[in-house]
Structure 1
Amino acid sequence: MKLICDLPSPKSLPDKYVLPPEKRPCDNELRDDLSVALPVIDLRGAMGDGRRQVIGEIMEAGKEFGFFQVVNHGVEEDVIQGFREAAAEFFRMPEEAKLKYYSNEPNNPFRVFSGSVTSHTDTNDIRYWRDCLKLRCYPVDKLMHHWPLEPEIFRERLAKYAVEVQDLARRLLRLIAEGLGLDDQFFEGDLTGGETMMNVNYYPSCPNPSLTLGIRPHSDRYILTILSQGDVSGLQVKHKGRWIGVQPIDNAFVVNFGLQLEMVTNGVLTSVEHRVVTNSAKARMSVATLIRPNMECRIGPAQVMVDGDTNPPKYRDFTGSELIEAYETTAGNREALLEMFRIHHTKLC
């Protein structure tokens, strides 16, 4: 199967990308003027006297939106742009050069696929308007040999980017831990000790954005996602029952909480649904880095987040592997996944 970016530019949307009417974005949801500014947090203050303020801003933004943007985050602009250029060059390679990486096997450490299906139960094989380069990016020394040798700049630039974004994730999780009243190293170790995943999402310009989506509505599964969305809008977040667009900011990262974090915090922090719409004028590329747990570690509400009868644990313990299986079963549906792990307490009269 070809990547969408390798197809001749169609004048109309091919049938297999046309979603049922109830799954399509409304016309007014495709307008940029509906975009709102997510809270923008300057992480420079976290290094000094402003640490408590930054922590407060993260917690407030997380509870209100489940998303925020960070600037002055310590990842150099040339590192961000350098890897984005390398990834774009990968998608521009000839079809035959990319074909050897094409796979629908989810356990491959480096693969390319196109037009993910709308659901595991769909029989019509309707697909989303997205090409994706999915890889494991950290620890670098362990995983680099899986990465392609072409384009020539790819490995070196990915290595630099992965290391710096991993460090940013570690710093953010320490701030989040402090904001929750946990030890600042609470999230280190097995809770974030799995191989870090990366999705490089490429959305070609689309003949009819009103008929399709780039990615379905979903919540992320793991503890934290750090996204470089570039300068083209398309990401939308569910907020108070409506879809709002996330305005791009130069060299900022969009940060959002995953379902694992929601369950570890016993629901104090939530993983919010989001999706991607397409546009007819420009291609869009985003780079999502997903911080994952060790697959065999036990995950459940932190002891500090529960309190006997007044605030009992809402979720049972589970492993990282169980989380992945549940996510695949529910196709990323937030409520369906949480229900698989929810504890239903019986109230005594």
Structure 2
Amino acid sequence: MATITPLVPQLSPKTPLHAPKLTCVKSLAASADLTSIPSNYTYSASPIEPAASDPEDSIPVIDFSLLTSGDPDQRSKIIQDLGKACKDWGFFMVINHGVSKSLMKAVIEASNDFFNLTEEEKQEFDGKHVMDPIRCGTSYNARLDKVFFWRDFLKVVVHPEFNFPDKPTGFSELALEYCKRTRELARELLKGVSKSLGLEECYIEKTLDLDSSLQIFVANLYPPCPQPELAMGMPPHSDHGLLSLLAQNEIGGLQLQHNGKWVNVNAIPNSFLVNTGDHLEILSNGKYKSILHRAVVNNKVTRISLAIANGPSLDTIVSPAPELVNNESHQTQATYIPMKYKEYLEFQQSNVLDGKSCLDRVKLTLVKSLAESGGLTSIPSDYAYSTNSIQPAASDPEEHSIPVIDFSMLTSGDLDQRSKMIQDLGRACEDWGGFMLINHGVPESLVKAVMESCKEFFNLTEEEKREFEGKHVFDPIKCGTSLHGRQDKVLVWRDFLKVIVHPEFRFPHKPAGFSELALEFCQKTRKLVRELLKGISENLGFEECYIEKTLDLDSGFQLFAANLYPPCPQPELTIGIPPHSDHGLLTILGQNEIGGLQVQHNEKWVDVNILPNSFFINTGDHLEILSNGKYKSLVHQAVVNNKATRISLAIANGPSLDTIVGPAAELVNNESHPAAYIPMKFKEYLELQQSNPLGSKTSLDRVRV
């Protein structure tokens, strides 16, 4: 019943022409001279995966007549099967559903007649806004789609108020009957779904106000495509709402993702194909997953599908059912943010269709929320870090005594004191790549105030913090979790706020006063770093202002990063930040009174017990590059604990973004000391490091000769 197909279509070596303008695909496909698709219909691809024939890949079949049977045992068994299908697949076929074959066929034929109307006739039903009751068009969201899809569509809101095109004759009457019957079918299925979740039979019906439910009629036309291996009918996506019921003419093309593989859906004659939607996943608190599915095309015949999406009422705020959260039967936290269905729908329909990107927006993804949920006794599996990587710290404090630099002596008018401190600074950079800085002149009260404001920021609601999410490496303000958010293969036990504060200062406007404190703190730490770099310049045998001038520190890049590490029920299984080195020159780190920083020294991990009112300073990759390897950037990591929240504040200081950093010419001798690193613009290095998985010195290794 199910066969495995490639994850994405295979690309052809042919180079297609570019379409002069967007038109409906039906007209494009009907062009007599069309032998290749326009380039703006070319969908990206990856290698083909082998087919699988494992019988466990059989798609579930639900006999609707047994669900409505008067036999309690039959009904109980089919409810169990329904729940298993929702949990394991998010998809099933419904047979014996009571909707006549003749009605299904008539609606499909009427849909075909609609698509056969002239383009001028169909323009009457164009629609502009996502909530317009009737919309006819092509692709998905043609205004935003970078790649167009080989599909024309008609979308009509048919409930709670019935709307429909008045052409072709009789279409509206057929659709009214069809939508009424499928709505009744969906409500009966949802009664069974409610029971399978351990809820009352009418729970979903009442809670989500299905008397005023949104129902959308969607007809899709996929004409023959001259290069089906290049195009896509609909990209991988999940549906909004609760259940979508799909029927089609006798031409296949629906594929769904199961256990990481794409499965062809070969429909049983006169059956409905039913998939779970995002709001059933939300209501069930993730027990039932909305399914990723897509539509592929062929080069021989036209496929028509009818998708009837059934959701809550538009004004319903959908959230995990309280009965499924934190009680005797369900020791789990709510993992989705409540959101009005109308707002979710507008968001999804107004953006590019992309997997489960909309559902990800309402997931409670921050570690703080996870840690504070009641009953959390173990970490989710996607936070389980390789235990081989979490090694015990070295325990001999004498052997691993971290250098201490007294900043007041570095800026002292006593030349002997300054000279001695510059030697100590150089030795710390060369032997350790890090040191503790005391008597640095930044008021303790300011450090504490900034730390307290960081805590207040992390205490904002997820909705408030969402304003500062950011997506790109160079977005000036980014708030999130882990390293790169939910796309990390293994998540780390950290929430963060990253802000670019120089050469231009930006900052969140919440909480009150945070921005002003951060501005003062960043100005003082920037001056501190420039003084340290003067000492480092001298230690390397340069003029005092060599680094300052060569790397354009007047326009130097400064990044403010606040990190939150909440208590973790299994700290031995996860990590706050994995081993890595920092970009830039010097990073200044402060923290509340909770430890967790470890540095690598002589191939052992050393706990950093920061002295009161001191900063820990570590060298970055670009100081290693500039010194041609004399100073090594420090590999460090953050571990977590099960008792108290740790907050750290890291201020990264680098060259200007446009500076090309390579080994200092004065330190390079082609015979005895050849250049060990390839020159690279700092901005490009930063993009490379921040866009890839964090791992020791993986980015630095890319520029080694």
**TM exceeding 0.5:** yes
Residue type matched to 2:308 in 1?
Answer: T
Q: Are 2:59 and 1:38 equivalent residues in the alignment?
A: yes
Distance in structure 2 (CA, Å) of the matches to 1:106 and 1:94: 23
Q: What's the counterpart of residue 341 of structure 1?
A: 362
1:152 corresponds to: 169
Q: After superposition, give the CA deviation of every residue in 1:123-163 in whole Å (9 maximum; x if it has no partner).
A: xx320000001111224xx324xx22221120111111011
CA distance in 2, matches of 1:201, 1:256: 17
Moved more, 294-303 or 277-286: 294-303
Distance 1:334 1:208 in 2: 24
Helix, strand or coil: the match of 1:143? Answer: coil
Greater alpha carbon shift after TM alignment, 68-77 vs 299-308: 299-308
Matching of residue 106 in structure 1 with residue 130 in structure 2 = yes
Partner of 2:292: 273
How many angstroms apart in 2 are the aligned matches of 1:336 and 1:238?
A: 16
Residue 302 of structure 1 is matched in structure 2 by 321
- Picking from 36, 41, 63, the partner of 1:17 is 41
Report what 1:319 is aligned to. 340
Partner of 1:89: 113
Alignment of 1:228-243 (within 5 A): 228-243=247-262
C-alpha contact 1:110 1:135 (8 A) present in aligned 2: yes
Counterpart selection for 2:204 from 187, 207, 228: 187
Is residue 249 from structure 1 mapped to residue 268 from structure 2 by the alignment?
yes
Q: 1:34 to 1:105 in 2, by over 3 A?
A: farther
More displaced stretch, 338-347 vs 236-245: 338-347
DSSP-derived class of the 2:216 partner: strand
Give, in whole Å, the separation in 2 of the partners of 1:182 and 1:213. Answer: 39
Cα shift at 1:119: 9.3
**8 Å contact from structure 1 (residues 228, 288) kept in 2:** yes
1:56-205 alignment, distance < 5 Å: 56-117=80-141, 120=144, 125-139=146-160, 142-144=161-163, 147-189=164-206, 191=208, 192=210, 193-205=212-224
Q: 1:281 to 1:259 in 2, by over 3 A?
A: same
Counterpart of 2:282 in structure 1: which amino acid?
A: M
Q: Which moved more, 1:36-45 or 1:244-253?
A: 36-45
Counterparts of 2:302 and 2:116 in 1: how far apart (Å)?
12
Indicate conservation of the 8 Å contact 1:18/1:126, yes or no: yes
Per-residue CA distance 1:216-259 (angstroms, 9 max, x = gap) = 10011111111112311111101111111100221100111111
Is the 2:41–2:148 contact (alpha carbons within 8 Å) kept by the matching residues of 1? yes
Gap regions ≥5 residues in structure 2: 1-21, 373-566, 568-641, 643-705
Kindly state the Cα deviation for residue 337 of structure 1 after the two structures are TM-superposed.
2.9
CA distance in 1, matches of 2:60, 2:84: 9
Structure 2 distance, partners of 1:335, 1:279, is 26
Query: In the TM superposition, what whole-angstrom CA distance separates every residue of 1:35-55 from its partner, at most 9, and x where no partner exists?
Result: 964111111112132101111
Residue identity matched to 1:163: K
Q: Does the 8 A contact of 1:119 with 1:331 survive in 2?
A: no
Aligned residue-pair number: 338
In the TM superposition, residue 107 of structure 1 has moved relative to its aligned partner by: 2.2
Q: Which moved more, 1:312-321 or 1:216-225?
A: 312-321
Deviation at 1:77, TM superposition (A): 1.2
- Give SS of 1:210's match: coil
- What is aligned with 2:540? none
Do structure 1's residue 292 and structure 2's residue 314 form an aligned pair? no
Shift of 1:117: 4.9
Q: Structure 1 length normalisation: TM-score?
A: 0.89
Classify the secondary structure of the residue corresponding to 2:122. Answer: helix
How far does residue 302 in structure 1 lie from its aligned partner after superposition? 0.7
For 1:222 and 1:195, how far apart are their aligned partners in 2? Answer: 8
8 A Cα contact 2:214 2:314, kept in partner: no
Are 2:248 and 1:226 equivalent residues in the alignment? no
Q: Contact 2:194–2:201 (CA<8 Å) still a contact in 1? A: yes
Taking structure 1 as reference, are residues 102 and 291 closer, same or farther at Cα in structure 2, changes over 3 Å only?
same
CA RMSD of aligned residues (A): 2.5
| Change in CA separation of 1:98 and 1:39 when aligned onto 2, cut-off 3 Å | same
Distance 1:253 1:179 in 2: 20
Superposed CA deviations along residues 45-70 of structure 1, whole A, max 9, x for unmatched, are 12132101111111111111110000
User: What residue in structure 1 maps to residue 472 of structure 2?
Assistant: none
Q: Is 1:53 equivalent to 2:70 in the alignment?
A: no
1:283 counterpart letter in structure 2: T
Aligned residue in 1 for 2:230: 211
Counterpart Cα distance in 1 of 2:190 and 2:79:
10
Task: Report SS of the residue matched to 1:6.
Answer: helix
TM-score normalized by the length of structure 2: 0.45
Moved more, 108-117 or 270-279: 108-117
> Which stretch of the first structure deviates more once superposed, 320-329 or 241-250?
320-329
Q: CA–CA distance in 2 between the matches of 1:330 and 1:2?
A: 20
CA contact (8 A) 2:60 2:93 kept: yes
The 3 A distance-change label for structure 1 pair 190 and 151 is farther
Change in CA separation of 1:331 and 1:48 when aligned onto 2, cut-off 3 Å: farther
Q: 297-306 vs 326-335, which deviates more?
A: 326-335
> What is the deviation of 1:307?
1.6
Shift in CA distance, 153/209, structure 1 to aligned 2, threshold 3 Å: same
**Counterpart of 1:54 in 2: which secondary structure?**
helix
Report the Cα distance in structure 1 between the residues aligned to 2:142 and 2:49, rounded to whole angstroms.
Answer: 22
Cα distance in 2 for residues equivalent to 1:337 and 1:148: 29
The 1-side partners of 2:54 and 2:117 are apart by: 35
Task: Tell me the alpha carbon deviations over residues 315-349 of structure 1, each in whole angstroms, 9 at most, x when there is no partner.
Answer: 22211123224434764545533332223311642
1:225 alignment partner AA: S
Following TM superposition, by how much is the alpha carbon of 1:265 offset from its aligned partner in structure 2, in angstroms? Answer: 0.5
Alpha-carbon deviations, 1:79-104, whole Å to 9, x = none?
11111111111112233322222244
**1:20 Cα deviation after fit:** 3.1
Specify the structure having the higher radius of gyration (Cα): 2
Instruction: State the distance in 1 between where 2:154 and 2:90 align.
Output: 25
Check whether the contact 1:221–1:332 (CA below 8 A) recurs between aligned residues.
no
Contact kept? 1:232, 1:248, Cα under 8 Å: no
